Structure 1
Amino acid sequence: MTTNLKITFGIAAVVAAIVAMIAVFGDFGARPIESAADTTAGRSAPTDVLVRPDSHTLSTAADGKVTLVEFLDFECEACGAVFPHMERIRAEYDGRITLVVRYFPLPGHRNGELAARVAEAAGKQDRFEAMYAKLFETQRQWGEASESKEAFFVDLAKQVGLDMTAFQADLAAPATAQRVKKDQDDGQSLGIQGTPTIFFNGAQLTEEPSYDNLKAKIDAALAS
């Protein structure tokens, strides 16, 4: 065998080896991406990020078996549609589940962030729950507006019996806006992109948050 022929065979062998390695490692490299996506879908969120000490808790279970955390936008129509299901669940399982709501106003909604500040300002007078309900019950009257609905929200504040001087001051306070943003930042750190996003015992719900679906999951968890 001539020297040139030996060199040719040697080069061919090296190329074949490189191609084989690319095939093996290329396939190997693709698998972790799929696996990571699957893992993310079922991964539990950190408890200290899901629920902060100042998060708004609408109901509390002593045994801690079931905790629902909803990131919501008061102007979101889907959140408005889920609201009656959550209220029905809250009433039916009063004292047996923990329900926490977090702010996540979406940038496309003109009054979403303002509504969150309205709820937070009401919360400073221990009227968060009343304002939370009012905002959803009246959503069709103010949602999707292109102009500020602050005057409408001020009227809601009067309806729930707030001290209006304190409410107006709290609504405009930078600390109130910062409180809303803190919830948004937590939501973004959890990868939330839309609302409503609900976590059931730390894992993000993938099914529709209908009354029947929520009830089935709660009953199964309480029975375990």
Structure 2
Amino acid sequence: MTSHPERGRGARLSTSTKAALIAIPTVLLVFLALILGSMLSQNAAQPAAAGPELAGVGAVAENSHVLDDAGENAPTLVEFLDFECEACGALYPVIEDIRAQYDGKINVVVRYFPLSGHLNSMNAAVAVEAAAQQGKFEEMSAMMFETQLEWGEKQESEAARFRGYADALGLDLAAFDAAVADPATQARVEEDLAAGQALGVQGTPTFFLDGALLQPTQISDITDALDRALALLG
């Protein structure tokens, strides 16, 4: 894994996340509604049988995008996500707070899983991957989630909007355009999609912790699992 630049996070959960963890009934209902809605009613991809080339697929690949790198022996949390997925968007600030709480203790990896029921999910993923080629994966990902309400569920291409995001981030637009047009960029996104299918991912967000599927029903399930994994390290 490559090291990630220091983000200057604090070591504690933000006040908003503490409140969310305390208000379990409300958070749980919202969390479950979003997850179930995403997985059951948005044309989630069906798991594919792993062929010989995917028989040994893991939750993390050599080219996976690493947001936080705490070292080879640290617990690794992987999220398969769709930038147009409402559940992913709703969880985005919570995951950011979890990253802050466990900063320097865990590895955090993001993988693409654009759902076929979302017209712009692939466009968004390709734009993020094109930005990643200029070292702006995390910034473009954040832009997608922070503006999701403006473009999500639209029935026309939002590729021009995403190009505007690239411009706002100061990217080389000629290089960005070339990357978006290059079939290899979408192929990179599809690598993650195929890996997710081979792993049995059926909707987004789907989490793995140290290669094992994590099936949270409330936010504390994620932090409890991380705490257990860290405790095993001694």
User: Taking structure 2 as the reference length, what is the TM-score of the superposition?
Assistant: 0.73
8 Å CA contact retained: 2:57, 2:195 = no
Please say if residues 57 and 198 of structure 2, whose CA atoms lie closer than 8 Å, have aligned partners that are also in contact.
Answer: no
Q: Deviations along 1:107-139, whole A, 9 cap, x unmatched? A: 000000010000000000000010011101111
Query: Are residues 174 and 214 of structure 1, via their aligned partners in 2, closer, same or farther at CA, if it must alter by over 3 Å?
Result: same
Secondary structure of the residue aligned to 2:154 is coil
* 47 and 201 in structure 1: CA distance in 2 versus 1, 3 angstrom threshold: farther
Secondary structure class of the residue paired with 1:107: coil
In structure 1, what is the equivalent of residue 211 of structure 2?
202
Partner in structure 2 of residue 17 of structure 1: none
Q: Which runs of 5+ in 1 are unaligned?
A: 1-45
State the identity as a percent. Answer: 51
Question: Could you tell me which residue of structure 2 aligns to residue 80 of structure 1?
Answer: 89
1:11-55 CA distances to partner (integer Å, 9 max, x unpaired)?
Answer: xxxxxxxxxxxxxxxxxxxxxxxxxxxxxxxxxxx8852111111
Tell me: CA distance 1:49–1:223, structure 2 relative to 1, closer, same or farther (3 Å): closer
CA distance in 2, matches of 1:209, 1:82: 11
CA distance in 2, matches of 1:133, 1:47: 31
- Pick from 176, 190, 194: which aligns with 1:181? 190
Deviant stretches of 4+, over 6 Å: none
1:150 aligns to what? Answer: 159
CA separation of 1:180/1:63 partners in 2, compared to 1, >3 Å: closer, same or farther?
closer
Which residue of structure 1 aligns with residue 231 of structure 2? 223
Shift in Å at residue 220 of structure 1? 2.0
**Structure 2: how far apart are the matches of 1:194 and 1:112?**
13
Asked whether the equivalents of residues 82 and 209 of structure 1 are also in contact (C-alpha less than 8 Å), the reply is no
The whole-number CA distance in structure 2 between the counterparts of 1:47 and 1:64 is 21
Alignment partner of 1:100 is 2:97: no
Kept in 2: contact 1:111–1:149 (CA 8 A): yes
Gaps of 5+ in 2: 1-54
Pairwise mapping of residues 128-167 of structure 1 onto structure 2 (< 5 A)?
128-167=137-176
Measure the CA separation in 1 of the matches of 2:159 and 2:144: 12
Letter matched to residue 222 of structure 2: L
Q: Secondary structure, in 3 states, of the residue corresponding to 2:58?
A: helix
RMSD: 1.5
Residues 1:67 and 2:67 are matched in the alignment: no
After superposition, the C-alpha distances for 1:57-98 in whole angstroms (9 at most, x for unaligned) are 000122523111111000000111111111111122111100
- Aligned residue in 2 for 1:192: 201
- Aligned equivalents of 2:91 and 2:218: distance in 1? 7
Instruction: Evaluate the alpha carbon distance shift between residue 47 and residue 90 of structure 1 in structure 2; reply closer, same or farther with a 3 A threshold.
Output: farther
Corresponding residue pairs, total: 178
- For the residue of structure 1 that corresponds to 2:97, the secondary structure is helix
How far off is 1:192 after superposition?
1.1
Q: Which structure carries more helix by proportion? A: 1
Q: Which residue in 2 is equivalent to 1:32?
A: none
Mapped to 2, the partners of 1:47 and 1:133 lie a distance apart of: 31
Q: Counterparts of 2:139 and 2:224 in 1: how far apart (Å)?
A: 28
